[in-house]
Amino acid sequence: MKDFEPKIMTFLCNWCSYAGADLAGVSRIQYPPNTRVIRVPCSGRVDPLFILKCLQDGYDGVLVSGCHPGDCHYISGNYVARRKFAILKTALEFMGMEPGRVQFSWVSAGEGEKFSQVISKVTEGVKILGPARKLVKSMDSLESPHD
Amino acid sequence: MDKLVEKIKDIFADEKLELLIGYTKGTLPLRATPILIESADDAGKLIFDFTCQNNLARYLVDEKKRGGDRRRVGIIAKGCDARAVVQLVLEGQFERENVVIIGVPCRGVVDPGKLRKKLAGREIVNFQVNGEKITLFGNGFELELKRSELLSDSCLACRYPNAVQYNYFIGEPAEPLGVRDGYASVDEFEQKSPDERWAYFEKEYSKCIRCYACRNACPMCYCEECFVDCSTPQWIGKGNDLSDTIIFHIVRVLHTAGRCVDCGACAAACPLNIDIRMLGKRVEKEVTERFGFTAGLDFETQPAMAAFNENDKEEFIM
Amino acid sequence: MEMDTYKLQKGNLERFLQKLGEKFVVHAPVESDGVVAFSELMPGQESALYFPRTHKPPKDVFYPQTEVMFHYEKDITHSAEYKGKPIALFGARPCDAKSFVLLERVFIDPKYEDPYWAARRNNALVFSLACNDPLPSCFCNWLDGGPFSNTGSDVLVTDIGDAYLFEPISENGESFLSSVDMLKKATKKDIEKAQNAKERAELSMGEPPKLDSLKVSLDALWDDPLWDKVSSKCLGCAACTYSCPTCYCFDIQDESRRGKGVRIRLWDSCMFPLFTKEGSGHNPRPTRKYRLRQRFMHKFSYFVEKQGEFGCVGCGRCVSFCPVNIDIRNFIIGVFQTAQGKGGEQ
């Protein structure tokens, strides 16, 4: 779809990925503007419910990014997150959700370039997939069936 | 059955039990019903056979909630139920020394939902078992089925028919049914295209009326406040909107990941025969293969989703 | 007024339903993947009338599980009462038809009328289908009902083998039937066949216990340990309440997003702890014992006080669907036994 501009929600851990995103900005690295950012203390803070609610709300893609394993500010938050995300991805893809819609990455505070590449990759991928439809809840779905 | 009753009476005395959770005959054919007895005098009401579907571990948690977790509780446990008890102890819901696991050999149990489906709306008044065949009798009809046609899908794929951890074991251990390989249904399903799979889940979950029988029948769902009942924030709507309902089922599977023992109580409890187990079974497979953990086998190993390994695979991370 | 009974050959049923569909939105039992529930009958779709008792009662035809009350947008609200074609409910069983009589006492009270329920119920035509083969779990005859009861029906339909008999019960029923050309008048023999079917069905259900003293007995057992016993195995789910044709508890919530929203009414259940939890955290029904007691008392005592008869139609769905086999019939017997000091079971 040529004119489709996806809406991506990105959860960035405060200590690594958010700083990395900031570095990308300060370094004037260009990357697609489609993403909205929510800063979390740690990637381990991200509850799968956040991701599912984004998809329900009409976001076309969700990205969660945290510190590299071993570098977590809270020591083990990203390890716990890694297990959660593996299971979430398995469940969603088994159900038939497109793999490109929910993605995870490790971006450190010094990886401004990598951050922009990750965003570009995710945005491109979601663009090709088209608007998300599978979990979307619209007000219309609350129409009573006989109206 | 007499052996069971006699042994229970002994256990009551030896272990100074204050409560025993078991099964007794139900009011409908091919149904047993849970019973909580407080004295060995009532032991004569106990039965154990292939009608004993419910997962009794569910009542262990309730016992705790009623403030009675200091009571010595005995529990009749099939293989899956016993694993649930172990998992509950691992999660700190019950103290090991306060529960007396009484293992019984299980050769599969009847899924009431499957029975209803086979009967297509009719009901039976009686039945007769003849080895591997069961004959069902209703008003004006008779139906002969193979046992495996009525047994829960969990039983057909069961790997642990006997309690792995127990205080007592009554009877001869049973062989796994081996009718179907554990993850065969999941592997077969995964062959379908993503859109076909999504269509299947939409079709199944669109039947859901959010009665939460699945959640409440599960021994692992014991949160004081379930995420569906949280209003600050309200994660999903409480009606039967399809998107909300699908998210309920996904999140319940995620919350029970690595804790589910596939007892089939969820699917059996569902009044509308929804395929509750399919998603959870795939997640169970992932936990087993990726983290090498199976729920409820011993009292030492940390549950997979409450632990981590520095070397966990991360091929899915960009 | 003596109204004639009509007859329709089974082969003409589809044409009849089509005729019905000209003036009404037709809801009938439809089978989907082994589950039978009432839904709008699409042209050419077959109705599952052979199914003895639908999984879900037709309660949601007049009372959807999720119902929009109104839409809002800043200062504007659009009320969303049903404004479609009148509804024809075809194939409800006598228990289901009676449930609407009971629900009407709640929803269309002289002082307070529920416009949402009323908008669907008024102008609706109920064709109930008599039960030739009551199920073992059916107990409508305990509660002044029966497999051929016509309470709540506009037309009572009876399957006599090769044909259906249509007996008009209300004037609206008669007025519709008399307008349909393809219906013939039933012969004496047809009516005899129906009478035989009725007797056979009623006989198959056996003699019901008398429930005259149930309320009085129940009221005296408020603090009895029988409640602890019955509720000890209750899971606290809503399988019974949601499959019950006469349960009507609901919750009202607003859902909004970006300046627009809806107020919705949705089914709720007294079996859920959250149902009575107060803002302070106090819950007047703190455990499952209190909630189960409330449910049974409501059906067999409070509803009698408020509305003059039992709030249960004896359809048997809760008996069939309770995951732990709590059997309300056994409970009733247990109440009588306890009241008589015999120490009833369950």
> Does C230 lie in the same domain as C197?
no
What pTM did the predictor assign? 0.95
Question: For B136-161, what is the mean pLDDT?
Answer: 94
Q: What is the pLDDT of residue C310?
A: 97
Question: For A16-33, what is the mean pLDDT?
Answer: 97
CB contact under 8 A, B116 and C320: yes
Nearest to C235 among B36, B123, B216 (CB): B216
Q: Is C113 helix (H, G, I), strand (E, B) or coil?
A: strand
Residue C68 lies in a domain: no
CB contact under 8 A, C80 and A145: no
> Does C235 lie in the same domain as C160?
no
Residue C279 lies in a domain: yes
> Does C140 lie in the same domain as C31?
yes
Residues 131-170 of chain B whose Cβ lies under 8 A from any Cβ of chain C:
138-140
Q: How far apart are CA B127 and CA B187, in angstroms?
A: 35
| Mean pLDDT of all residues belonging to chain C | 93
- Per-residue confidence band for B180, with pLDDT thresholds at 50, 70 and 90: confident
CB contact under 8 A, A105 and B194: no
Domain that holds residue C225: 214-248+269-339
Domains: count for chain C: 2
Whether C228 has its CB under 8 Å from any CB of chain B: the answer is no
CB contact under 8 A, B265 and C323: yes
- Cβ pair B23, B35 in contact under 8 A: yes
Nearest to A95 among B186, B279, B309 (CB): B279
- Amino acid of residue C37: A
**CA B202 remoteness from chain centre:** 24
CB contact under 8 A, C269 and B211: yes
Ordered structural domains, chain A, with CATH? 8-138 (3.40.50)
| φ, ψ (nearest 5 deg) of residue B167 | -90, -40
The domain limits of chain B are 2-111+151-303, 113-150
> Does C32 lie in the same domain as C129?
yes
Burial of C121 (0-12, 13-18, 19+ CB in 10 A): buried
DSSP class per residue in chain B: -HHHHHHHHHHHHHHT-SEEEEEEE-SSTT-EEEEEE-SGGGGGG-B-STT--S-THHHHHHHHHTT-TTS-EEEEE-HHHHHHHHHHHHTTSS-GGGEEEEE------B-HHHHHHHHTT--EEEEEEETTEEEEEETTEEEEEEHHHHB-HHHHT-S--S-SS-SEE-SPPPPP--SS-TTHHHHHHHTS-HHHHHHHHHHHHTT-----HHHHH-TT---SS-TTT--TT--S-SS--HHHHHHHHHHHHHHTTTT-----HHHHH-TT----HHHHHHHHHHHHHHH---TTS-SSSPPGGG---TT---TTB-
- Least Cα distance to C146 among C193, C98, C210 occurs for C98
Question: Torsion over CA of C44, C50, C51 and C57, rounded to 10 degrees?
Answer: 60
Residue C35 lies in a domain: yes
CB contact under 8 A, B269 and C235: yes
**C340 vs C63, residue with greater confidence:** C63
Contacts of A59 in chain B (CB under 8 A): none
CB contact under 8 A, B121 and C52: yes
CB contact under 8 A, B291 and A122: no
Nearest to A144 among C40, C80, C257 (CB): C80
- Per-residue confidence band for C258, with pLDDT thresholds at 50, 70 and 90: confident
Neighbouring chains to B with at least 3 Cβ pairs closer than 8 Å = A, C
Question: For C196-209, what is the mean pLDDT?
Answer: 96
Alpha helices in A29-75 (DSSP H): 48-57
Q: What is the pLDDT of residue C190?
A: 94
Q: pLDDT (tens digit, 9 = 90+) per residue, A83-118?
A: 999 999 999 999 999 999 999 999 999 999 999 999
Question: For A72-83, what is the mean pLDDT?
Answer: 96
Q: How far apart are CA B197 and CA B190, in angstroms?
A: 8
Please say if the pLDDT value at position C346 is more than 50.
no
> Does C27 lie in the same domain as C172?
yes
Q: What is the pLDDT of residue C238?
A: 96
Q: What is the pLDDT of residue C74?
A: 84
* Angstroms from B216 CA to nearest CA on chain C: 6
Q: pLDDT (tens digit, 9 = 90+) per residue, C51-64?
A: 999 999 999 999 99
Length of chain C: 346
| Mean pLDDT of all residues belonging to chain B | 94
Contacts of B197 in chain A (CB under 8 A): 94-96
CA neighbours closer than 13 Å in the CB half-sphere of residue B291? 28
Share of chain B above pLDDT 90, in %: 89
Q: Determine the residue among C254, C257, C258 to mutate to test chain A binding: the one whose Cβ has the most chain A Cβ atoms within 10 Å.
A: C257
Q: Determine the residue among C131, C233, C234 to mutate to test chain B binding: the one whose Cβ has the most chain B Cβ atoms within 10 Å.
A: C233
> Does C281 lie in the same domain as C197?
no
* Angstroms from C39 CA to nearest CA on chain A: 10
Residue C101 lies in a domain: yes
Whether C206 has its CB under 8 Å from any CB of chain B: the answer is no
Burial of A38 (0-12, 13-18, 19+ CB in 10 A): middle
- Per-residue confidence band for B118, with pLDDT thresholds at 50, 70 and 90: very high
Residue C345 lies in a domain: no
Contacts of B309 in chain A (CB under 8 A): 79
> Does C20 lie in the same domain as C97?
yes
- Helix, strand, coil distribution of chain C in percent, nearest 5: 35, 20, 45
> Does C222 lie in the same domain as C150?
no
**C346 vs A108, residue with greater confidence:** A108
- Least Cα distance to B13 among B77, B74, B56, B64 occurs for B74
Radius of gyration of chain A (CA): 16
Contacts of B247 in chain A (CB under 8 A): 49, 52-53, 56, 135
- Per-residue confidence band for C75, with pLDDT thresholds at 50, 70 and 90: confident
Please say if the pLDDT value at position C175 is more than 90.
yes
Nearest to C34 among B240, B265, B273 (CB): B273
List the structure tokens of C292.
Answer: 């189960």
Neighbouring chains to C with at least 3 Cβ pairs closer than 8 Å = A, B
Share of chain A above pLDDT 90, in %: 90
Contacts of A143 in chain C (CB under 8 A): 68
Q: What is the pLDDT of residue B70?
A: 72
Find the angle CA(C325)-CA(C328)-CA(C287) to the nearest 5 degrees. 75
CB contact under 8 A, C257 and A142: no
Q: What is the pLDDT of residue C123?
A: 87
The residues facing A38 across adjacent strands are A11
- Per-residue confidence band for C43, with pLDDT thresholds at 50, 70 and 90: confident
Residue C346 lies in a domain: no
* Angstroms from A36 CA to nearest CA on chain C: 16
List the structure tokens of A34.
Answer: 């489609």
Whether A31 has its CB under 8 Å from any CB of chain B: the answer is no
Alpha helices in chain A (DSSP H): 17-26, 48-57, 77-95, 112-129
Residue C67 lies in a domain: no
- Per-residue confidence band for C340, with pLDDT thresholds at 50, 70 and 90: confident
Q: Determine the residue among A13, A55, A72, A83 to mutate to test chain B binding: the one whose Cβ has the most chain B Cβ atoms within 10 Å.
A: A83
Determine how many CB atoms are found less than 10 A away from the CB of residue A27.
10
Residues 16-55 of chain B whose Cβ lies under 8 A from any Cβ of chain C:
26-28, 31-36, 54
Residue C161 lies in a domain: yes
Whether C276 has its CB under 8 Å from any CB of chain B: the answer is no
Pick the residue from chain C with its C-alpha nearest to A57: C257
CB contact under 8 A, A139 and C260: yes
Q: pLDDT (tens digit, 9 = 90+) per residue, C269-297?
A: 999 999 999 999 999 999 999 999 999 99
> Does C220 lie in the same domain as C273?
yes
Q: How far apart are CA B284 and CA B186, in angstroms?
A: 10
- Per-residue confidence band for A142, with pLDDT thresholds at 50, 70 and 90: low
> Does C303 lie in the same domain as C224?
yes
Contacts of A97 in chain B (CB under 8 A): 194, 198
Residues 108-147 of chain C whose Cβ lies under 8 A from any Cβ of chain A:
120
Please say if the pLDDT value at position B215 is more than 50.
yes
Q: pLDDT (tens digit, 9 = 90+) per residue, C309-325?
A: 999 999 999 999 999 99
List the structure tokens of B267.
Answer: 């699917």
Please say if the pLDDT value at position B69 is more than 90.
no
> Does C225 lie in the same domain as C145?
no
> Does C199 lie in the same domain as C218?
no
Question: For A29-50, what is the mean pLDDT?
Answer: 97
